[in-house]
Every structure is written in C-alpha cells, then in structure tokens.
Structure 1
Amino acid sequence: MSTTVTRTRRHELDHLRVLATLGVILLHVAAIVVVAFKDTRPDLLSQFNLGNLANTGGRFAVNCFFMTSGALLLDPVRRFVLRPQFLRVALPTLTWIVVYTLLNIALNDSGRPGVRGALKDPLSLEPTELVRALLAGPAVYHLWFVYVLLGIYLMVPLLRALTDRPEPERQRLLLWFLTLWLVAGLLPRWGAWLLGERFPVLYAMPLEALPVGYVGLFVLGFAISHYRDRLRVPSLGWAALAAAGFVWTFTDVWWAARDGESRVFAAYDNLLPPVLMLSIGVFGFFATRAWGPGPVWPLVLRTSELSFRIYLVHIAVLHTLRVTTDLGPLLSERPLVGIPAMFTAVVVISWVVSWLLDLVRPLRRWV
C-alpha cells in the first residue's frame, strides 16, 4: 500500500523539530566543556564525561533537521518552488551574518574573542578575504549547516523528479540512490574511521561523482517517512537503535580521550555509524508515528515555526553569555551546574529574541 503523506501538517515532525532545536543548543553548550577537559585523561565519572554525555545527547539534531526537510520537501503531494524556498533560508542567513560581523567587531574592540568562524576578526580581513569568508565560510561556525542546506535546495528539483515517479519505479529509484550513497559516501568514510590508512579506497575518482554527503540523509528522511507503514519497525526498535548509537558515541569519545588519542571527536561525525544510528533512530521514532493532523501544544507549534530563527540566533546568545557573564566560568569550571544553567539561559533568551523579531512583520522575511 502506498504511504504518501497527506497535505495536513505533520505534527509529529513539529515535535521532532522542537526536540532537534533543543538538541543543537545542548550540543553547542556541552562542546565547550568537552573541549576544555579533552586532555585530562578522564575517568568515567569526570567533568569531561558530563560534557560528553550532554554533547552526545544533542548529536541527533543536525541529521534530523536534514531528514525532516527531506521528508517534507521531497513529498510529491507538497508544492515546492525553488526561489521562495531558497530565499526563505538565504535572506535571514545573510542578515545574521551581518549581525555576527557587528557583534564580533564589538567584542574585539572590548578585548574579547569573536564568535569562531571565518569572520571571527572581520576588521583584519582584506576585501578579497572578506568575500572568500562569506562565500567559502562558514562565516560563523554553526552556519555550515545552512551552507549545506542551500546546496541541497538547489538539487531538490532534480530529486523531486525521482520522488514524483509512480510506484514501484519510485521505490526502485530511491533504493538505487541510497545504495549509491552508501557505497560512495558512507563506506569509504567508515573504512577510514575504523581502519585508518589500512583501508583501501578503490576507484576513488568514480565514487566522487556519485551521491555523497548530506544529500543522502535528505533522501533517507523522505524514504523513512514515505514508506513508514511498509517498514513495520516498532517504536521500541527505533528507540533501541537510537540508544545503541548514543552508547557507542559516548563510549568511543570517552575511550579516545582516556587513552590520549588524537581522534577524540571522531565519533561525533554526523555521517559515521554511531551518530547515524542515534539520529536515524530518533527520526524513525517520530516520523513513523501516526500523529498526523492531531492537536499539538501551542508552545510546541510556535517553537517549531521559530526553529530556524532560533538556530541562527543561539550562537550569538551562547557566545555573549560565555564571554561577558559569570555563566562562562561556571560552565568551564563546574559543568554539573554550568551546563543546565547555560542551556536554560540560551534556550529562553534565543526563544524570546526569535519571538519578538517574528512580531515585527516587515522583518520576518529578513531575520
């Protein structure tokens, strides 16, 4: 039976988008702790692992953003027009690049470091370097996600030609696409992670022409969502997959830090098996649930609508709190208290700023 979704709002994906928004804030807060204590050869019960635990808990977020976008934008019953969809992401991003540039100038003038990224110290850049920083980026470190998303948007009209096909041709084409992604994009990456230089990359140049990177996650999100009835995976199965990925990510990062290895952060890679298992498990748990057009809490719906703006804003809030308030030292010195305190502050302030900006109708298109 075909499982094409209806035109109604997917409230289960609203819940997932809110959870992913909280997750990405959590991982950026916790990453500060992980970096601060990565060279301490930590025991299981350690400040490093407090940060590692929280960081791992948020690692599903970015992959779920990609998969959620794919589930919605590749749905053949939903209308997609490239130009407005592209501008809906590109224009606010450009606005916030300007905001981050001005913020970094102000921080640098006060003797504080700017937000990490190509525009960390914008006044030190020559005009050609400034253009390169904007185009090659990321201008600010968390905006890499937006750069990738915009690139995928340019491919959506081609991908829609695949998902618009009738069954069973659509299913065969999706399976073929995801197989090519696995062979060309994932297996070489996994082999290099597990075996290092011992892993031979055969026929590397032909593989580079095949689907690689996050476009595969985009298509995978559509496939899981569209064929959710055929998959017949119970909620417990998705939860178990996510739990296995969580444990694997946490332990691999901890063991690398404990043994003093240089690859401490390798298992945090979004396209390696640990985080893929975690994020696919979380996405499948939500995307295959039959919540459909049912009611959703107003706060959840509003936060889902504000999620992209919150993503753009939250690093400015986090960095400013870190370098100008006592929350910064608290986070680095007492993570058991600092992580929840900083996380709560960033969530609340980012939500309020995003909500206030949304109230100004002329600004909505630009921020």
Structure 2
Amino acid sequence: MVQIEPFAVELWMDKHEHSAKYNIAETCSAPISISKLQEISEDKTTQIVDTSSTLHYGAIRGSDALRSNLARLYSSRASSALPAENILITPGAIAANFLIFFSLIGPGDHVICHYPTYQQLYDVPKALGAEVSLWKAKAENNWIPDPDELEKLIKPNTKLIIINNPNNPTGAILNRTLLQRIIALATPQSIPILSDEVYRPIFHSISPASPEFPPSILSLSYPHAIATGSLSKAYSMAGIRIGWLASRDPALVEVIADARQYTTISVSQIDEGIAAFALAQSTVHALLARNIALAKTNLEILDRWMIKHDDVCEWVRPVAGTTAFVRFHREGVAVDATKFCEELLEKTGVLFAPGKECFGSGKEFQGYVRIGYVCETEVLKEGLEKARLFMKKEFDDLALDEGDGDGKGE
C-alpha cells in the first residue's frame, strides 16, 4: 500500500470553506461566469457551449483549439514557437503534476522541491519512493531560495527539480536570473525541471518590461523543462476542470502521455470548449486585465490593513499570484496560528489558512497564515474589517505557539 501524508491544506479548505462567510483563504482569482466571460470578450457571437454537439470522448490529448491557444501564449515571449502537440490537457494542474511524478519518479530517485509550496509537489514524489530534499526559501531573504544551496542539494541520482513560480503561499517569484541559474545547475545531468506555473501570469507588482521579469520556464531554451498550469487560479475558472502540461521535449511528453492513458481518456468537451474560448485572443487579454487589476486593487487594501496592524503582524509583500503569507505575533512571539484561524472563523466567519497546519509543521511557519486576497473586493474588505474587530477584542488572549524559538526560521 502506498503511504502518503494527508493533504493538509485541502483538508482544511474542504472542512471550512463552505461554512465561511468571508473566504479569504481561497487561492483562485474571483470566479467568473460563462455569461460574464462572453460579456468581456470581443467575440459576442460565438456559441461558447455548442449544445448540438454529440458528447463522445473528443480529442484524446486535448482539442486542437485549446492546445493551439495555449501554444500561442507560451510562444509569445519565446525565441521559438512551442508546438501545440507538445501540450497535454488534464483535469486540472493537480492531475498534470501527478502524471509527471508517476511517469518520472520511483524508488531510489532523488527529487528537490522548492519550499514552502503546495504539499502535492513534495509529498507525492515521497510516496512514490523518492528521497525528497526541500530547497527552502526564508522570509528574511524575501522568500527567495539560495541557488548555492540548490547546488549543494543536487546528487548523482537527482531526477527532478520542482519549482513553483509564482509561489503559493508567499507570492514571491523566481526571477529571470535565478531561473537561468537553476537551468545551469540542472544542465550537466540533464535533470528535468518541473515549474508549477498555475499562478502565472498574475504579476501585479513587477512590470513585464523589467529585465528580471520571470518568463515561463518554457521560454528559456532548456529542453528538459516542463510547465504545468490551469484555468483555476489566474483565469478564474476553477469550476471547469482544465489543466495542462507542456514541454519542448516531445519524448518527455510521450512518456507522460503513456501514463495519462491510465487516468484520463479525455477531459470534458464542454470544459475544453469554455477553456478554448477563454484563452482565445479575443478574450484572454480582457480576462487577465480584469484579474490583474483586481489583484492590484485588493493588494493595496491588504497592504493598508497590514500597516494598521504592523505591531502584531508582518509579511514580505507579494509580487505576484493571489496569496500572501502573514506572520502574527505578540511582542515577537508567534501566536498559535491554527487556534487563531479556528477562533476567527467561529466568531466572525472569516477564513484564513494556518501555515503550520497547511504548509509544514516546522517552527519556521509558527504564527503564519495564508490570505487569499484576489477574491471579490467587497468580500476582502468586509472580511478584513471583521478580522480587525476580532483582533481588537480577542488578540491579546490568543494562545501563543508552544514550539521553541521565535518562529522566524530554523
């Protein structure tokens, strides 16, 4: 029997998100309806869902329209076009990531994973028998991991380097120079690099004109790179279960496609049709503009809230994505974040996600909570106001974390 750790953040969200009145732990950009999608699109005539189509399996690896639209997006900042056949459509990025691990990782292998991050990225390889080394980012370094430490982690049997860019839960980015350094370290052993890019391209605090703006891993001419993405986070459509994986190495794609046959004959034709419409040139720019504007507006609201509470909370301001990682403390001593989140939810209906509960039990996450701020603006405003009132009355009585140390890292 395969032994795998409980998926902590998903268990937390599944337990609490449907009862929360102000869900500001959610990681998706504010969801959009099909009718609103057509409203913001330049294409007002195309029938997004063709109800006359027969519901057969459809295109096994993904529809031509959807894969062509994705290939165009990946090719826009690259020196050469990405072929559409180098993209596989999956039921969400979570399935894409799992297929990569299932295809490439086994007992005796070594994997390096950027951390903190989504638990799947390190615990699934571990469950498959791999030794997993965590490449740790730290708050005191603005959540940017040290490439010299990565170099020390690489072993002769390292089979995969995993990064999450932009990062969940911190909102930090791995910039162009750091991505190039990662590739340089992987090149001597031709180590595949998996870049989970589900929060791309929500870049709200760095300009695309910046020389350090992070491109997709597929734009950096490393043949052994794999990118995964989905419609859930940056594109506001978690309700259609569409994700993908892409690589410039067709042989790598074929290996993963063979494994995919055992899990996914094809994805929903209806979902693919909606996704293809959303990613078409007539729609995608307006959709992303909506979500980036929402991220900027809401981040300023959260920033002002943080300033008002800077005596009890601290953060590294996010650069991209939809999440912030905030540390709550009293006179430098971390509060018990799980109890804080539980009491906050019970008394106000506001949902945060506790760091130690959801992202690792080490003392480096004492007092941390994840806040998802790219929800509807009114939900964020009202939720933060409820949190403010709770903290005014209750914060001094919150339990402190029982672990040793100040909670800022090992």
Scaled by the length of structure 1, the TM-score of the pair is 0.26
The answer to which structure has the higher helix fraction is 1
If asked which structure has higher relative contact order (CA below 8 Å, sep 6+), I would say: 1
Scaled by the length of structure 2, the TM-score of the pair is 0.24
The answer to which structure has the higher strand fraction is 2
